[in-house]
Amino acid sequence: HAVFAAHKRVHQETAFRDGAASTSSATLELVAELTAALDRPRVLLVGLGEMGADVARHFAKSKRFAEVTLCNRTPALAQALAAEYQLAVLDFNDLAEGLRAADVVISAVAAPTPVFTQALVAGLHNLHHQFFIDLAVPRSVAAAVEAVPGVLVYNIDDIQRKAAAALAGRVAAIPQVRAIIADSLADLRDRSREMQLSPTIQKLKSTLEQLRQQEISRLPPLSPAEARRVEEVTKALTQKFLKLPVLQLKAACQRGEADQLAAALTELFALEELVKF
């Protein structure tokens, strides 16, 4: 319980979990922001090296994107990832067709010169806005692509700045997180001490209840109404008698004196012995 409570406080009260601190998660976050107004954004991921494959896994695990298509020069890798994560596959020879349909194109293609040129993108004659996210180094999306009407280009520098900002926010939140953990540990210690006192409190309750019933048994026969009233009054008195010792025990926990007070109560009320009727 204490662990979950601390986790919830960290999530709600600090920036420790805000933002995406890795390139893949920052890419996912950026695409989610760019396509927030679309019901079913179509994402095309081209290039499945180490970076591209990691991005594919992040998108596959996200519930936000239902239409993610993988495209790779080596089709076997695309097919294997698609089979593992239930994603679509586009043959590299059909790249132009896939580009025309996509709302977002993520490129992680390793190539010495840009694969996505201004002429290629302009030739698609797209009627919708389109985003290119270039994760490759050197760049696989030519800078001139952004001159195509309706097209916006983000590169690896944009993504890394986003991830770095998120990481900096998390680092800055560490003192808050530590304070929350310290509070939670202190609370856990207090609860642990109170749990150690639980047997003493239960014995005290049991002893008082036995005394109450013992005294009631000495009364002459009562009518049902009288019996109910006696039951109510004696139970209320028992609760009042019990309240102060319990409060004192809890206060003693805070002072680290619970053991002494518990021993005193045990001896005072003879809690180790059963009260006989």
Lowest mean pLDDT among 6-10, 16-20, 41-45, 183-187: 16-20
Mean pLDDT over residues 77-105, rounded? 95
If you ran DSSP here, which 8-state letter would residue 110 be given? -
- The confidence score (pLDDT) of residue 7 equals 62
Instruction: Go through the chain and tell me how many residues it has.
Output: 277
Nearest in space to 266 (alpha carbons), one of 209, 214, 197: 197
pLDDT value at residue 256: 64
Confidence of residue 238 (pLDDT cuts 50, 70, 90): confident
Check the CA dihedral 231-236-241-242 and report its sign: positive
CATH number assigned to the domain with residue range 2-167, chosen from the 4 options 3.40.50.720, 2.30.30.110, 3.10.290.10, 3.40.50.970: 3.40.50.720
Burial of 131 (0-12, 13-18, 19+ CB in 10 A): buried
Closest CA to 87 of 114, 60, 55, 105: 60
86: left (phi over 0), alpha (psi -120 to 50) or beta: left
The fraction of the chain above a pLDDT of 90, given in percent, is 41
pTM to 2 decimal places = 0.57
Instruction: State the pLDDT confidence band at 258, using cuts at 50, 70 and 90.
Output: low
Q: What angle do CA 156, 161, 163 make, to 5 degrees?
A: 95
Q: What is the longest distance spanned by two Cα atoms in the chain?
A: 106
Average pLDDT over residues 188-199: 67
pLDDT band for position 20 (cuts 50, 70, 90):
very low
Average pLDDT of the residues in 177-188: 74
Give the pLDDT confidence of 205-237 residue by residue, as tens digits: 888 888 888 888 888 888 989 889 988 999 888
Q: What is the pLDDT of residues 107-151, one digit of tens each?
A: 999 999 999 999 999 998 887 889 999 999 999 999 999 999 999
Contacts of 260 (CB under 8 A, 6+ apart): 252
Domain edges within the chain: 2-167, 189-268
Q: What is the pLDDT of residue 187?
A: 74
Among candidates 110, 72, 107, 111, which has minimal Cα distance to 88?
72
Residue 151: strand, helix, or coil: strand
Q: Helix H segments across the chain?
A: 2-13, 23-34, 50-61, 75-85, 95-101, 118-122, 156-217, 224-255, 258-268
